[in-house]
Every structure is written in structure tokens, then in C-alpha cells.
């Protein structure tokens, strides 16, 4: 979570939404974030699908991420009001949340490893978003 917060602050993300059994904001998370948590609010949410419905009503588009499905990241449209949906490193996103998203993207790679860790995937996603939009 600290690495995600640091990447989010670097790219100007407005907030990090945490659902389910996401890690707590421990001292280790704060150390890894290196001050980023002072710039990016972390909001705990209950039901991520219900939250996505509310965000959609506010004009956001839910973009799910998957290591084995979805349109390749560079080819997928990323609207200016995008909410990236990232799952836990082992389990990924729930099928319910994948179905609720408007679109799904994958990060192309060589296939040597199955996937990236969630912090690295966040960096790749936000760099691509930044490439196509000024945050």
C-alpha cells in the first residue's frame, strides 16, 4: 500500500479507495510511502460495486485490471475520469467487480512471469494514463 500511495502521489491521483481486507495504514506503510499519504487521501469503502455505481453516477468510468483478460493497456481507451480497479495480488478482482466495470485492461508482457505485483501494475497503469492525459 505504501508503494501504491507513493506512485499515486507521483502521478497526481486524487484518492485511493480501499475495500475488503486491504492492509492498514501501518508504520511500515507510511515509511514505504515516504510522505505520499500526506498528499493522497486513503478512503475505506464497504461494497466496491456499490461505490463504483456511485462513481459512475458522478461521471467516472471503472477500468478493471486483469493479468489474463482484457484489452491490452496501450490499445484501451482511458477516459479522463477513470477509476482503476486493482485486486489483491493472489486473488485479483472479484468476478462481481470485474462484471461491474465498464472495461478491463491487461498489461502486456513476455509471459515469463504470470503478472506484476500490484504496486508495479499501478505504476504502469498510471504512467500510461499520464501519457494520454495531463493529470
User: How many angstroms separate the CA atoms of 123 and 63, rounded?
Assistant: 15
User: How many angstroms separate the CA atoms of 45 and 64, rounded?
Assistant: 17
Task: Residue 23: give the domain boundaries.
Answer: 2-132
* E strands present in 39-129: 42-44, 61-65, 71-72, 82-85, 103-106
Q: Could you tell me the strand order of the sheet in which 61-65 lies?
A: 71-72, 103-106, 61-65, 82-85
Number of domains in the chain: 1
pLDDT of residue 19: 86
pLDDT of residue 20: 73
Is the full-model pTM beyond 0.75?
yes
CATH of the domain at 47: 3.40.1280.10
SS3 17: strand
The 8-class DSSP code of residue 88 comes to B
Each residue's pLDDT expressed in tens, for the chain with a length of 135 residues: 678 888 998 899 999 898 876 556 555 554 555 566 777 888 889 899 999 999 999 999 999 999 888 999 999 999 999 999 998 777 788 999 999 999 999 999 998 998 898 999 999 999 999 999 865
Amino acid at each position: 500500500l505504501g508503494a501504491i500511495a507513493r506512485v499515486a502521489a507521483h502521478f497526481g491521483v486524487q484518492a485511493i479507495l480501499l475495500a475488503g481486507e486491504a492492509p492498514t495504514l501501518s508504520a511500515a506503510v507510511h515509511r514505504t510511502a515516504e510522505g505520499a499519504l500526506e498528499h493522497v487521501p486513503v478512503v475505506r469503502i464497504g461494497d466496491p460495486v456499490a461505490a463504483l455505481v456511485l462513481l459512475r453516477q458522478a461521471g467516472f468510468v471503472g477500468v478493471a485490471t486483469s493479468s489474463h483478460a482484457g484489452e491490452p493497456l496501450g490499445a484501451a481507451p482511458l477516459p479522463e475520469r477513470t477509476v482503476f480497479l486493482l485486486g489483491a495480488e493472489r486473488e485479483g478482482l472479484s468476478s462481481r467487480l470485474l462484471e461491474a466495470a465498464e472495461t478491463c485492461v491487461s498489461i502486456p508482457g513476455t509471459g515469463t512471469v504470470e503478472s506484476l505485483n500490484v504496486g508495479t501494475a499501478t505504476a504502469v497503469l498510471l504512467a500510461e494514463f499520464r501519457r494520454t492525459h495531463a493529470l
